[in-house]
């Protein structure tokens, strides 16, 4: 049966999707029994060349949504507006929507899910997290019977490329960013990636799906990789770790927390082996044990493939004439303040090399109830570098201890602090 497809956005993902729909129409029909007919593609600039015939292009996205021969709308424009208004308009017309828009889903998820449910149509967003890696469907369907404890993700390929280059080539942060830009892995303005904002939206979505509690992007603690020193990547290796920008969604027992920050990951953990621009997500639960999903986190081909999988599924549900029940419901739940969340910290201190220094430093940690797991000291002349890894302590205690360290005469500099994420939380 025929389903007319309208695409909002004619960039890399939208263009690749249009090409796949045109090229693979018969293969898809044979495999799924559904005839997907591309109707229109809304592009920003009609004068640019496209990988699909110009006759499909229009610069009026609202016309695509309203077109009666469009039965299903794909939104791959990105950003909040006008995407949100167009998606809500499509849902109001009873048209299923497939989107790859992490920002929109993270910020307006509950609005979108409620609207879709009230209209009895599908709203699918497999490509919003992890690009081409099937994650959303496994999390919200296959694992719906598991009390997931923690989700750890490398969900931003740009920053993983930069960190891999810094570590394996010994490059500075600036040099690695420049190389990522040269190869097309980073934008001219890389802020959304390196600040952790992109990963933050994805962490909010992962937490919502894993725990049925909508965290929202504003409640996600986000720290980027801009402040990382290449020296700490070297020290990480000496201590048995690699540094990764992790998105963490966790149910601590007291509540749910979502956070993004650089993290020391043990060398024997599967996530520490994820190199270059790849993405991976690691899921832990009492019955399932440990699951790893790894693959391409971005790019036109992978992302368009994930979108197309959603399109086929949404078309299937549309043709089944089902009142589509929402796949996951969101309860009130408790979202924790990050200040109360316990983590281990790695600290690099530049200190005076004199008797009694370690005792003073240990004293500060003790006052703030942070206990130290291990200490390494490298002397050099009258100064020394001290590397410490702590046991778990609340974020607020770590911060207070670090502030107090800065005021010690014997501490010349708190040169680095990075959270440590291990198998044993």
- Separation CA 251–CA 335 (nearest Å): 9
308 binds its own copies (CB under 8 A): yes
Among 146, 179, 350, 353, interactor with its own copies by CB under 8 A: 146
Closest distance between its own copies and the C-beta of residue 184, in Å?
Answer: 15
The 101-140 contact track toward its own copies, x by CB under 8 A, reads -------------------------x-----xxx--xx--
Choice from 184, 253, 331, 355 touching its own copies (CB under 8 A) = 331
Q: Which of 182, 329, 380, 407: binder of its own copies (CB under 8 A)?
A: 329
Nearer to its own copies, 144 or 413 (CB): 144
**Cβ 263 to its own copies, closest distance in Å?**
20
Query: Is 171 near its own copies (CB under 8 A)?
Result: no
Q: For helices 230-238 and 157-169, give the axis angle rounded to 10 degrees.
A: 70
Question: Binding to its own copies by residue 25, rule CB under 8 A?
Answer: no
**Of 35, 37, 67, 317, the one binding its own copies by CB under 8 A:** 317
What is the smallest separation between the CB atom of 354 and its own copies, expressed in angstroms?
A: 46
The reply on whether position 296 binds its own copies by CB under 8 A is yes
In the complex, the smallest distance separating the C-beta of residue 328 from its own copies, rounded to whole angstroms, is 6
Q: Please say whether the beta carbons of 23 and 41 come within 8 A.
A: no
Q: Select from 49, 68, 253, 289 the one that contacts its own copies (CB under 8 A).
A: 289
Catalytic site residue 20?
no
Residues 210 to 249: which contact its own copies by CB under 8 A? 212
Q: Which of 95, 119, 202, 344 is catalytic?
A: 202
- Does residue 290 touch its own copies according to CB under 8 A? yes
Smallest gap from Cβ 289 to its own copies, in A, equals 5
Which position has the token pair 């994650």?
135
- Interface with its own copies: number of residues (CB under 8 A): 64
9 binds its own copies (CB under 8 A): no
Neighbour tally for 387: CB within 10 Å: 20
Sole window of 196-204, 281-289, 341-349, 352-360 interacting with its own copies (rule: CB under 8 A): 281-289
* CA-CA-CA-CA torsion sign (113, 116, 119, 121): negative
Cα–Cα distance between 302 and 73 in angstroms, integer?
A: 19
When the beta carbons of 7 and 418 are compared against its own copies, the nearer one is: 7
CA distance 232 to 224: 15
Tokens matching residue 262: 């650089």
Q: Which is nearer to its own copies, 182 or 329 (CB)?
A: 329
Single out the segment in contact with its own copies by CB under 8 A; choices: 183-191, 218-226, 283-291, 417-425. Answer: 283-291
Q: Which residue's entry shows tokens 């709308």?
A: 73
Task: Using the rule CB under 8 A, give the single segment among 54-62, 69-77, 172-180, 315-323 that binds its own copies.
Answer: 315-323
Question: Cβ distance 299 to 131 under 8 Å?
Answer: yes
To which residue do tokens 């969340």 refer? 341
Residues that bind its own copies (CB under 8 A): 16, 20, 24, 27-28, 30-33, 126, 132-134, 137-138, 141-147, 212, 270, 273, 285-296, 299, 301-302, 304-313, 316-317, 319-329, 331
Q: Catalytic residue positions?
A: 202
């Amino acid at each position: 049966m025929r389903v007319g497809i309208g695409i909002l956005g004619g960039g890399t993902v939208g263009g690749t999707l249009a090409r796949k729909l045109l090229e693979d129409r018969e293969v898809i029909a044979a495999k799924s029994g559904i005839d997907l007919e591309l109707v229109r593609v809304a592009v920003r600039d009609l004068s640019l060349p496209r990988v699909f015939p110009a006759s499909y292009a229009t610069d009026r996205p609202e016309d695509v949504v309203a077109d009666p021969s469009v039965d299903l709308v794909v939104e791959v424009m990105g950003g909040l507006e006008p995407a949100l208004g167009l998606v809500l308009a499509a849902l109001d017309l009873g048209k299923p929507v497939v989107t790859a828009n992490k920002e929109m889903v993270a910020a307006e998820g509950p609005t979108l899910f409620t609207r879709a449910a009230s209209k009895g149509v599908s709203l699918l967003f497999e490509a919003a997290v992890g690009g081409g890696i099937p994650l959303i469907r496994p999390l919200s369907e296959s694992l719906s019977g598991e009390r997931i404890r923690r989700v750890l993700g490398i969900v931003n390929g740009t920053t993983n490329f930069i960190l891999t280059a810094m570590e394996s080539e010994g490059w500075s942060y600036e040099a690695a960013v420049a190389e990522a830009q040269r190869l097309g892995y980073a934008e001219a303005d890389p802020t959304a990636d390196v600040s952790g904002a992109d990963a933050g939206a994805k962490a909010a979505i992962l937490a919502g799906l894993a725990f049925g509690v909508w965290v929202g992007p504003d409640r996600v603690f986000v720290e980027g990789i801009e402040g990382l020193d290449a020296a700490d990547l070297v020290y990480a290796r000496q201590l048995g770790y690699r540094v990764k920008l992790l998105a963490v969604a966790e149910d601590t027992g007291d509540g749910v927390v979502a956070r993004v920050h650089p993290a020391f990951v043990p060398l024997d953990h599967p996530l520490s082996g994820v190199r270059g621009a790849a993405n991976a997500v690691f899921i832990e639960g009492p019955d399932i044990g440990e699951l790893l999903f790894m693959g391409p986190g971005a790019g036109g081909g992978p992302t368009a493939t994930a979108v197309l999988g959603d399109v086929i599924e949404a078309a299937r549900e549309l043709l089944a004439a089902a009142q589509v029940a929402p796949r996951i419901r969101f309860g009130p739940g408790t979202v924790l303040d990050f200040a109360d969340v316990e983590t281990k910290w790695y600290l690099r201190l530049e200190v005076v090399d004199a008797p009694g220094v370690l005792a003073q430093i240990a004293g500060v940690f003790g006052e703030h109830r942070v206990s130290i797991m291990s200490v390494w000291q490298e002397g050099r002349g009258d100064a020394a570098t001290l590397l410490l890894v702590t046991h778990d302590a609340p974020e607020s205690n770590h911060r207070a201890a670090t502030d107090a360290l800065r005021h010690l005469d014997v501490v010349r500099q708190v040169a680095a602090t990075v959270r440590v994420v291990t198998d044993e939380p």
